[in-house]
Structure 1
């Protein structure tokens, strides 16, 4: 078990609650958890610890929203995501932590800007005739960012916003998407050495906080207004991207 001060454990517990909330109510908030873990723990270790907590939260999200997923959308995204994960594995073999953070920060800010511009001018991904290029672009970026920093939440949040999904469909599709992808990442994470026995001990301590966040998120999701939901997603995405750029 790593030797952390009480405030270090407190920050990790808060971040674990945010992980649960991000899966069941407020997508995009997960980037804040990524930032907290990277501050308290060594960067590579933080990625492995966070991955297993995300999988725990995925179980709750899938259980709560399994009937609301858009499976046609998921199948459309999957090939590009797998390709993005593969590129992310190669990138991790050569890039240091600073390059990883700044690359993802730039990607996220670019996606926010493009999405907001297209939403103002016209629908960037028509609901009846979804654009294959958009699915390929967002999917590959999501695969890359989830592999290198568990930071694909904002990428897919922007895509689902562009698709104009209602809150429950948004959360259900995202729940299955990340449950599948995070489990898919486990052997790669073991291979590059970011999943460790020490990380598993930290996860055991923090799992209850994830459960609290996930259950609280369900209460919020049943009451949140669509416009408030969309604005929260955009704001939290921008905050997370800016942190990655300046950290």
Structure 2
């Protein structure tokens, strides 16, 4: 009971936090863009920067469930090429996070995602006539954007999803690569947020522990849904949910 008192949440807030935890679990094993609704939910209760510290322990728990289901399907070559640039993005996020307000964070994230979506839709319409330049610039841009948006608002999922679809990843490789990439990034963010932002107090760790059943339920349902989606429908659902989430961030 002392833990519940320490968190000082109303019944209404508890319901929203549980829903956010469910979305986090679902996004980790199902459709990653479903993480996006959890961001404004938690931010509305704990504030902008504070919410990043609340969500991060839940994300790591969700990552563990994702790795349990998809750990064998990662495409490590792409992860290795992105990681150095992602660390640059994390560093930029730490610096900018001290000067930019929440509204500006959300606008930047939304615009970045919408640009990526536009490029993806254009390339799919061009079909085989469009050549994807898999060069250092592509990895640098994707890595920096993922690192920055992950640090600012735990919102790199849509950008990474667009990148993997852009690269032609199939369903299992898509899920496995996403699981390992974000597990590594989220673990890296823990000491950074503690040292530079001091926004992961012990009560948020307790809260994540309490939310394990909701995260687990979301993770299980995510796995069941993914199994029923074919590749074409999977891509369309990713695009639709990502577009909706990005537009909502602008308002």
Q: TM-score range by the shorter chain?
A: over 0.9
CA displacement, residues 206-238 of structure 1 (integer Å, 9 cap, x when unaligned): 122101111221222222121221112112211
Contact 1:115-1:162 at 8 Å conserved across structures: yes
| Alpha-carbon shift at residue 96 of structure 1 (Å) | 1.6
- Higher mean C-alpha displacement, 145-154 vs 112-121: 112-121
2:159 matched residue in structure 1: 155
Query: 1:23–1:125: structure 2 CA closer, same or farther, 3 Å change rule?
Result: farther
Instruction: Give the aligned partner of residue 221 of structure 2.
Output: 216
Secondary structure in 2 matching 1:29: helix
State whether residues 143 and 152 of structure 1, in contact with CA within 8 Å, keep that contact through their aligned partners in structure 2.
yes
CA distance in 2, matches of 1:71, 1:6: 43
Please name the residue that 1:9 is paired with.
14
Figure out how many residues of one structure are paired with residues of the other and give that number: 244
2:56 corresponds to which of 42, 51, 73:
51
Match of residue 73, structure 1, among 61, 66, 78 = 78
Structure 1: gaps (5+ residues): none
3-state SS of the aligned residue for 2:44?
helix
- Maintained 8 Å contact 1:83/1:140: yes
Q: How does 1:223-234 map to 2 (within 5 A)?
A: 223-234=228-239
Alignment of 1:135-154 (within 5 A): 135-154=139-158
TM-score (norm 2): 0.92
1:103 is aligned to: 108
- What is the CA distance between 1:36 and its match in structure 2? 1.5
Residue 125 of structure 2: aligned partner: 120
What SS class does the counterpart of residue 240 from structure 1 fall into? Answer: helix
| CA deviation map 1:159-210 (0-9, x unaligned) | 0010111111100000000000000011111121221123223222212210
Shift of 1:39: 2.0
Q: Displaced runs of 4+ in structure 1, greater than 3 A?
A: 122-126
1:38 equivalent among 25, 36, 43: 43
Structure 1: how far apart are the matches of 2:139 and 2:120? Answer: 13
